Amino acid sequence: IGYRGIDTASMYGNEAGVGRAIRASGVPRERVFVTTKAWNNEQGYDAAIRAFDASLERLGMDYVDLYLVHWPVPGKYKETYRALETLYEQGKTRAIGVSNFLIHHLEDLMGACRIKPMVNQVEFHPLLTQKKLLMFCRKEGIQVESWRPLMQGRLELPLLTELAAKYGKTAAQGVIRWHLQHGVVTIPKSTREERIAENADVFDFELEPEDMNRIDALNEERRFG
């Protein structure tokens, strides 16, 4: 269908399958952007190095494109991130970053790290717009990436239905487009082929500024994850 960004993690238990699927696809490795993550029980400097090597072996690859600290485990995330800096300098990962970090976590980390996080992957969607965090990351040059972008399919909101009809798209396509126009990388998940194709078909329309603002106004600080 054309997807080239693959997001996995040691905690998902599917790295080996992801690696097999990429090899079977026939798409050259350098054309695929692979992200994986260090889970909470893999944190600390030495543990994160070991966890990365294990992930790489399961994936059957000699590098990943992005390696993330999955959650900010208190007392450990700075040492974990130091391991990521080492892996980056060794060329084993093309980029490093964090996931689920709030502003105070980022400030704490940036006070100690040598390489600023390149990505912060967080829950982000119309009911959780994280405006302060988004503005902070923009100011610091940290790319925000959204997990749970489609709110686990909870898309039956009157405004989203109205806008889908207006643009001749589905509610899911409207929400993905909203992410992209905010400059947020999005990783929608589906097990259904037709939905996977639909989620990628979002580059032939643009939401008007007032409609972007109306979707922003749906924010309830509501987390699904």
pLDDT at 157 (0 to 100): 97
- Cα separation, 175 vs 6, in Å, equals 20
Q: What number of residues does the chain have?
A: 225
- Termini Cα distance of the chain: 28
Residue ranges of the chain whose pLDDT lies below 50: none
The contacts of residue 183 (CB under 8 Å, 6+ apart) are 138, 144
pLDDT in tens, 166-178: 999 999 999 999 9
What does the pLDDT read at residue 95?
98
What is the rounded CA–CA span in Å between residue 117 and residue 99? 10
How high is the mean pLDDT of the chain? 97
- pLDDT for residue 48: 98
User: What pLDDT does 37 receive?
Assistant: 98
- pLDDT value of position 57: 98
Q: Does the reported pTM lie above 0.85?
A: yes
Choose the catalytic residue: 12, 45, 77, 167: 12
Tell me the pLDDT tens digit for each residue of 17-64. Answer: 999 999 999 999 999 999 999 999 999 999 999 999 999 999 999 999
12 catalytic residue (yes or no): yes
pLDDT value for 225? 87
Say how far apart CA 140 and CA 118 lie, in whole Å: 9
